[in-house]
């Protein structure tokens, strides 16, 4: 039988303090659970699979929201864009 070698000094990965279900994550984002299920199916949001269950780390939810941020346009950026078209 093979003997398993472990390193006692190896860092132990930290578990998230809180994991949310699809319904809890959807409520926190003020979105539908169906939207989150679709985002999971399309792999657009990070998630943890525990057996058949899917859980979300609140940090990953915040990163998902931040990744969708769109900066406002100013009059200067609109005119600059129009000059490059011509």
Global pTM exceeds 0.85: no
pLDDT in tens, 4-31: 666 767 787 777 789 999 999 999 999 9
Give the count of beta carbons closer than 10 Å to the beta carbon of residue 35.
Answer: 13
The pLDDT of residue 1: 57
pLDDT in tens, 45-76: 999 999 999 999 999 999 999 999 988 888 88
The pLDDT of residue 5: 67
pLDDT in tens, 26-51: 999 999 999 999 999 999 999 999 99
- 10: which 2 tokens? 């190896």
The pLDDT of residue 9: 78
How many angstroms separate the CA atoms of 71 and 73, rounded?
Answer: 7
* Cβ neighbours for 64, distance < 8 A, ≥ 6 positions apart: 39, 44, 45, 46
How many angstroms separate the CA atoms of 21 and 6, rounded?
Answer: 33
Q: What is the Cα gyration radius of the chain?
A: 21
């Amino acid at each position: 039988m093979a003997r398993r070698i472990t390193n006692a000094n190896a860092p132990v990965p930290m578990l998230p303090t809180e994991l949310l279900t699809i319904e809890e994550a959807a409520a926190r984002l003020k979105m539908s659970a169906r939207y989150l299920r679709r985002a999971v199916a399309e792999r657009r949001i990070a998630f943890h699979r525990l057996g058949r269950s899917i859980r979300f780390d609140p940090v990953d939810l915040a990163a998902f929201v931040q990744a969708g941020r769109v900066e406002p346009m100013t009059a200067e950026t609109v005119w600059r864009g129009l000059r490059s078209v011509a």
